[in-house]
């Protein structure tokens, strides 16, 4: 089962288990982002991805210049508490060997603190770089960040998800789950910026884009 099918199955299962009043709050939050067309306002194909200096799970500062491959896959995820994020990260890990054969490397970025990013990396057995974007500073330069409405904050608290503790601040801000494919010049050759957190770029699409770019 591919990632898209896994995500659809997870979404259907959640719909059965989550009370209707809570679903309404979650859907309303997503619809609000769609109404603002937030995804279309973020960095897109043709833009140049700006450099960053972000700590990895061990606290080592990494930048785009540390990755000397023909292509990079830069994936933003909300946090290790998000089941859709974990499914995406594991799916990316599964195709890493294929990506490396195309001289492509993976980078995952979230607003979680390095300690929490380490937990996410170990839980999903990731062998690629997982970076912490403290206070969403880098994601904000790309137009990816939104503030969680208070009713959604309350829902997450009820679920036992303490976004403030994971991110090390009380801003309750998250990035949209964007994925960018960039070339050696750091030009974005493919962008996927959904407002809906249940949607992710399927690794099979990534491989197809890279296949065309390298042919």
Q: What's the pLDDT tens digit per position in 129-171? A: 999 999 999 999 999 999 999 999 999 999 999 999 999 999 9
Does the pLDDT of residue 93 top 90, yes or no? yes
With a CB cutoff of 8 Å and minimum separation 6, the contacts of 152 are 25, 26, 29
pLDDT tens per residue, range 181-193: 999 999 999 999 9
List Cβ neighbours of 72 (8 Å cut-off, separation of 6 or more). Answer: 64, 104, 105, 106, 107, 180, 181, 182, 186
Alpha carbon distance, N-terminus to C-terminus of the chain: 27
The torsion angles phi and psi of 206, rounded to 5 degrees, stand at -60, -45
For residue 1, the model assigns a pLDDT of 82
Instruction: Map tokens 């606290």 to a residue.
Output: 59
The mean predicted confidence, pLDDT, of the chain is 96
For residues 97 and 164, give the distance between their C-alpha atoms in angstroms, rounded to a whole number.
35
**pLDDT of amino acid 215:** 82
Asked whether residue 201 carries a pLDDT value surpassing 90, the answer given is yes
Please report, for residues 22, 27, 207, the alpha-carbon distance to residue 151 in angstroms, rounded to integers and kept in the order given.
9, 12, 39
DSSP state letters, 158-194: HTT--HHHHHTSS--EEE---EEEEETT-BEEEEE--
Beta bridge partners of residue 107, listed in sequence order: 74, 129
pLDDT score recorded for residue 182: 98
- Do residues 142 and 42 touch, judged by C-beta distance below 8 A? yes
Mean predicted confidence (pLDDT) in 107-124: 96
β-pairing, 173-175 with 179-183?
A: unpaired
The pTM assigned to this predicted structure is: 0.96
Q: 54, 69, 131, 133: which is closest to 105 by C-alpha?
A: 69
Task: Say whether domain 3-214 belongs to CATH 3.40.30.10.
Answer: yes
- Token representation of residue 126: 């990731």
């Amino acid at each position: 089962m591919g990632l898209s099918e896994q995500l659809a199955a997870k979404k259907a299962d959640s719909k059965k288990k989550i009370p209707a009043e809570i679903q309404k709050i979650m859907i309303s939050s997503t619809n609000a982002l769609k109404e603002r067309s937030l995804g279309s306002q973020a960095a897109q194909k043709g833009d140049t991805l700006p450099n960053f200096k972000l700590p990895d799970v061990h606290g080592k500062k990494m930048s785009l210049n540390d990755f000397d491959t023909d292509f990079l896959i830069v994936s933003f995820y909300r946090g290790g508490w998000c089941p859709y994020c974990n499914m995406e990260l594991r799916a990316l890990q599964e195709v890493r060997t294929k990506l490396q054969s195309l001289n492509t490397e993976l980078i995952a970025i979230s607003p979680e603190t390095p300690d929490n990013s380490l937990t996410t990396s170990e839980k999903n057995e990731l062998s690629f770089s997982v970076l912490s974007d403290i206070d969403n500073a880098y994601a904000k330069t790309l137009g990816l960040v939104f503030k969680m409405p208070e009713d959604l904050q309350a829902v997450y608290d009820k679920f036992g998800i303490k976004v403030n503790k994971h991110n090390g601040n009380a801003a309750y801000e998250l990035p949209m789950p964007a994925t960018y494919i960039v070339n050696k010049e750091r030009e974005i050759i493919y962008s996927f910026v959904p407002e809906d957190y249940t949607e992710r770029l399927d690794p099979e699409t990534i491989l197809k884009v890279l296949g065309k770019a390298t042919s």
